[in-house]
A and B are shown apart, each in its own frame.
Chain A
Amino acid sequence: MPQDENKEGIGGMINPRRYGIERVAYLLMRLSGLGLLAYFIGHIYETSTILRGQVGWNEFLELTQTTEGHAILAIVIAMCVFHTVNGIRVMLGHGGVGVGKPARPDYPYDPASQNYRHKIGIYSAIVLAAVAMMYGLAVMFGE
């Protein structure tokens, strides 16, 4: 089989349906990373408007201090928390923490590393992201 036939490309990379919650975490990790990088670049540009003086700063701030701006910031908060918590889980996993002990592979060949500890880590990251987003919305909308 030619090498190219075995490549699913970006479609295979973003398909969250296979391999359970770990695959969803993999996809969310990349999506949140790209989203945060885009926000970071935008934030660097946004803060550079301070060099235009008070008028320039206030003009740009008006663009971001809207309902849509707050909604985007709430999504950024959620992405940030998920990326952080899941990132710590991944780092611990790479360091051998919580991946189980080496053992003989027996049927049904469940991967020892995809155990309940890491699943709890992924679900915790999702829940914490949602809580942080709600808190962020409450702060921004002054509730």
Chain B
Amino acid sequence: MRESTIMKIHYGTALAAVALVAVHILMRLTQGFAESLEYESVLANYKFIPYAIMLELILILLSVHGFNGLRVILLELKQGRLYEKAVSYGCLAAMIALIAYGSRTIIMTNMGMV
């Protein structure tokens, strides 16, 4: 993929994540910080499907943005054909792994498999 396209994705994921993370944080503040972290409260959040979808979107957006950012930093440090391929595929693999791990939590909790 062209770097210009990757940077557009980087900026797009950033803007979308800012909006959704703001909602995520505001949800913590509507109840009071400590109460919102109680087990029943968190479980209820996961079981509310629109909120679970939002969490999944945040997970994907931040994973894509975060690991692409890491890739950019690592490519600024050092260049080379093999190094660049290793960094790009390594970040992609880490991104997929994190999305899979986070999705597992969201799906299992939403479906009541706790």
Task: List residues of chain A with CB under 8 Å of any chain B CB.
Answer: 9-10, 13, 30, 33-34, 36-37, 40-41, 44-45, 47-48, 50-51, 53-54, 57-58, 61, 65, 80, 84, 87, 91, 94, 139-140
Taking CB atoms, residues of chain B closer than 8 Å to A58 are 39
Tell me the nearest residue of chain B to A41, going by C-beta: B98
Looking at the assembled complex, report how far the CB atom of B15 sits from the nearest CB atom of chain A, in whole angstroms. Answer: 8
Looking at the assembled complex, report how far the CB atom of A47 sits from the nearest CB atom of chain B, in whole angstroms. Answer: 6
Is B70 within 8 A of A48, CB to CB?
A: no
Q: Could you list 14 further interchain pairs (A-B, Cβ under 8 angstroms) beyond the known A37-B67, A40-B62, A61-B37?
A: A33-B69, A34-B70, A34-B73, A40-B63, A44-B98, A44-B101, A48-B104, A48-B105, A50-B109, A50-B114, A51-B105, A57-B42, A84-B18, A139-B29
Taking CB atoms, residues of chain B closer than 8 Å to A9 are 77-78
Is A44 within 8 A of B105, CB to CB?
A: yes
A-B contact pairs, 24 of them (CB 8 A): A9-B77, A9-B78, A13-B77, A33-B66, A34-B70, A34-B73, A36-B66, A37-B66, A37-B67, A40-B63, A44-B59, A44-B105, A47-B102, A48-B104, A48-B105, A50-B43, A50-B105, A50-B114, A91-B14, A91-B15, A94-B7, A139-B29, A139-B33, A140-B33
Q: How far is the CA of A94 from the CA of B11 in the complex (A)?
A: 11
Taking CB atoms, residues of chain B closer than 8 Å to A36 are 66
Q: How far is the CA of A33 from the CA of B91 in the complex (A)?
A: 15
Residues of B contacting A: mostly: helix
Q: How far is the CA of A119 from the CA of B21 in the complex (A)?
A: 27
Looking at the assembled complex, report how far the CB atom of A39 sits from the nearest CB atom of chain B, in whole angstroms. Answer: 10
Chain B residues 1 to 50 lying within 8 A of chain A, measured CB to CB, are 7, 11, 14-15, 18, 21, 29, 33-34, 37, 39, 42-43, 46
Neighbour of B114 across the interface among A34, A53, A87, CB < 8 A? A53
Is A87 within 8 A of B76, CB to CB?
A: no
Is A37 within 8 A of B105, CB to CB?
A: no
Looking at the assembled complex, report how far the CB atom of B22 sits from the nearest CB atom of chain A, in whole angstroms. Answer: 9
Q: How far is the CA of A137 from the CA of B24 in the complex (A)?
A: 18
Is B14 within 8 A of A87, CB to CB?
A: yes
Is B101 within 8 A of A13, CB to CB?
A: no
Taking CB atoms, residues of chain B closer than 8 Å to A34 are 70, 73
Tell me the nearest residue of chain B to A54, going by C-beta: B39
The answer to the question of B108 belonging to the interface, with a C-beta cut-off of 8 Å to chain A, is yes
